[in-house]
Amino acid sequence: MMEHAPALAIAIPLFAAFAVSLIGKIGKRIRNMWVILSLILTELLVIYLNYEILTNGIHTYALGAALPSLISPGGFPVRIILEIDAVNALVSFIVISITLAAVVYCWRFMQAISKDREHIDRFYSLLLLFTAGMIGMSFTGDFFTLFVFLELTSVSSAALVSFFRDGESFEAAFKYMIISAIGALFLLLGIGILYSQYGLLNMAAIAKEIMLHMSFLDKVSLSLIVSAILLKIGPVPLHMWKVDIYQKLPAPLVAVCITSSLVGIYVLSRILFSVFFVMGSLSGWIIIILGVLSIFVGVTMSLLQKNLKRMMAYAAIAEIGYVMLGIGTGLAAASKDFGFIALSGGILHTLNDALNMGLLFLITGAIFYATKKTDIRDLGGLAHRSASLSALFIIGMLAVSGLPPFNGFVSKLMIYESVFCLNPLLAVVGILGSILMLAIFAKVFVSVFLGTPYRRKFKKMPASMMAVMWIIALFILFLGMFPEMAINNLVTPAADALINHEAYMGGVI
Amino acid sequence: MIVTGLGSWSPLIFLLCFATISIIVFFIRCLGEKECIKEKEKTVLFFSGNPPPIENRATNIYWGFFEAMGRYYRRMKRIHSGVVNDYVYWFVFVVVVIMCVVIFL
């Protein structure tokens, strides 16, 4: 049974998504339990896969084969092949953990923002589809399935963006649909070029062909695929759609959307490290430049915003920039020690970003739940009404700004020091970004939490929402105090798996 | 202890140093002025001894930074038009740049 864990980790949320509307007819409590149960099952499968991979190495699974291990009959990979190693196992663990936390948070949050039961049924259905798409994108070992799962995430998230059913939500959803469709077309074109040359869709098999000879068409295909994936990740200057949709999505869902960008970063890393590794140095510099741009533009634009969600959205773009800076340096200097540390820092920052930005968006959601406001000019003195929320915000603020001894500091330190070896100017921009990040959240803290007590209507926050935020905050503190546990057991094996492209090819060929 | 490239990092050593410095700071603070500043004086803006040019609120604490970066922000606001055509334009621009870099370099 457990040999089918990779397929089940995708199938369970997919099945649960279609069943939600039916189960929702019985009652909202049973529907909520169903959603949470399906995510807990998926989480257990992903934890099992992480354990198995760290113990036994890469896990491959052929969908539709008589035996799941029948990957390449006659030395030629056929069928849909899922290939799971330490990187995508870690990414899927982050995705499912944050989604589970967001769903528990949503239990009471969604009741407060919509009374329409069927509307919430659809919300959960789309959220589960979105989760299945993200896990599928992480696990897949072939390009066409990647395209299918990318489309699944795009369509479900576009529908989720229009959740509030007002003019701005529909506009944001429409923009996102156009952007996703164009990105998907470019991706499909790139995949088509590869298929026309090699008659293959499997990533490992294509990597083997490219290793022998990189043609002009391969370069065209690389450009198209990388651009399409970058559009999904949303670094500057491809970030503008992100701010629109983050503003219109319910706050807990933004926390899930952040993990979707991280899945995009994983896919980009997989393609550049494992398939087009011949172009490593050049593509590394492209990623570095986009990362640095994202850091600078993200923090400076965030400083300007008055709406909490838009402010956080720009901060999230800057955080993605740090991950890209680390991974880009890992690519550009793959053969050097500092390249490996930069890559490890980038991977660790993936985990930290999901936790820190996830917590801050959940706090934004809690502020909205309590006050029905997201404009910082309408808020102030909330610390007098909820000391616990203020404490959570301080933890999130210090962690995302990379201050010691919080988790963000460790990953950023690893990135700065290794990037410094590549080019000191990059480290300067990174540190400047961190300082501005602190300035952004200091402004939010002063405007929203300090000052005279908030006198308007303030709804008490339910225990489930507070519990989720405190659990994430405790993880942040734990990772800050004991970073070596995450680095030794999760990050280093993941960085090893990315660097070692021959092992990835060997899993299939 | 984690190796971070050029150095290393231990959160426990940091916390130990932080606690020691905090105790010293607290000791110095205890030596300071005992009388508190009047409430009204606490909220008066200090602008190098001159009267402040604007009425400043907490949401506008980086007014000076925005003034100094005025040109950059005007340009950025123009780029962030919110029009989907512009989003597509930037995507096409990135595709062209990446393609040129990958093919010709």
- Tell me whether residue A323 is exposed, middle or buried, using C-beta atoms within 10 angstroms of its C-beta: 0 to 12, 13 to 18, 19 or more: buried
What are the DSSP E strand ranges found in A24-95? Answer: 59-63, 80-84
Q: Are A498 and A274 in contact (CB under 8 A)?
A: yes
Q: Phi/psi class of residue A65: alpha, beta or left (left: φ > 0; alpha: ψ in -120 to 50)?
A: beta
Q: Tell me the percentage of chain A whose pLDDT exceeds 90.
A: 74
Confidence of residue A504 (pLDDT cuts 50, 70, 90): confident
Identify the pLDDT of residue B53.
66
Q: Are A277 and A218 in contact (CB under 8 A)?
A: no
- Sequence-distant (6+) residues with CB within 8 A of A40 are A100
What distance in Å separates residue B28's CA from the closest CA in chain A? 24
Strand, helix or coil for residue A440? helix
Q: What is the pLDDT of residues A390-436, one digit of tens each?
A: 999 999 999 999 998 899 999 999 999 999 999 999 999 999 999 99
Subunit contact B84:A174, Cβ cutoff 8 A? yes
What's B36's DSSP letter? P
What's the CA dihedral at A128, A130, A135, A140 to 10 degrees?
A: 130
Identify the pLDDT of residue A216.
93
* Domain residue ranges of chain B, discontinuous segments joined by +: 1-34, 45-105
Q: Tell me the percentage of chain A whose pLDDT exceeds 70.
A: 99
Asked if the C-beta of B6 comes within 8 angstroms of chain A's C-beta atoms, the answer is yes
Q: Of all residues in chain B, what percent are helix, strand and coil, respectively (each to 5)?
A: 60, 5, 35
Subunit contact A227:B93, Cβ cutoff 8 A? no
Name the residue with tokens 């899922």.
Answer: A82
Residues of chain B positioned with their CB less than 8 A from the CB of A332: none
Look at residues A315, A170, A169, A162 and name the one whose alpha carbon lies nearest to residue A234: A315
Strand, helix or coil for residue A404? coil
Cα(A60)–Cα(A71) distance, rounded to whole angstroms?
A: 8
Confidence of residue A150 (pLDDT cuts 50, 70, 90): very high
Cα(A338)–Cα(A281) distance, rounded to whole angstroms?
A: 14
ipTM over the 0.85 cut-off: yes
Look at residues A471, A464, A488, A473 and name the one whose alpha carbon lies nearest to residue A104: A464
Res. A115: pLDDT tops 80: no
Confidence of residue A19 (pLDDT cuts 50, 70, 90): very high
Confidence of residue B40 (pLDDT cuts 50, 70, 90): low
Q: Which of B58, B59, B95 lies at the smallest CB-CB distance from A227? A: B95
Q: What is the pLDDT of residues A20-66, one digit of tens each?
A: 989 989 988 999 999 999 999 999 999 999 999 999 888 888 887 77
Identify the pLDDT of residue A99.
95
Q: What is the pLDDT of residues A194-252, one digit of tens each?
A: 999 999 999 999 999 998 888 999 999 999 999 999 999 999 999 999 999 999 888 99
CB atoms within 10 A of CB A391: 15
Helix (H) or strand (E) holding B8: strand B8-9
Confidence of residue B99 (pLDDT cuts 50, 70, 90): very high
Residues of chain A positioned with their CB less than 8 A from the CB of B102: 219, 222-223, 279, 282-283
Cα(A62)–Cα(A60) distance, rounded to whole angstroms?
A: 7
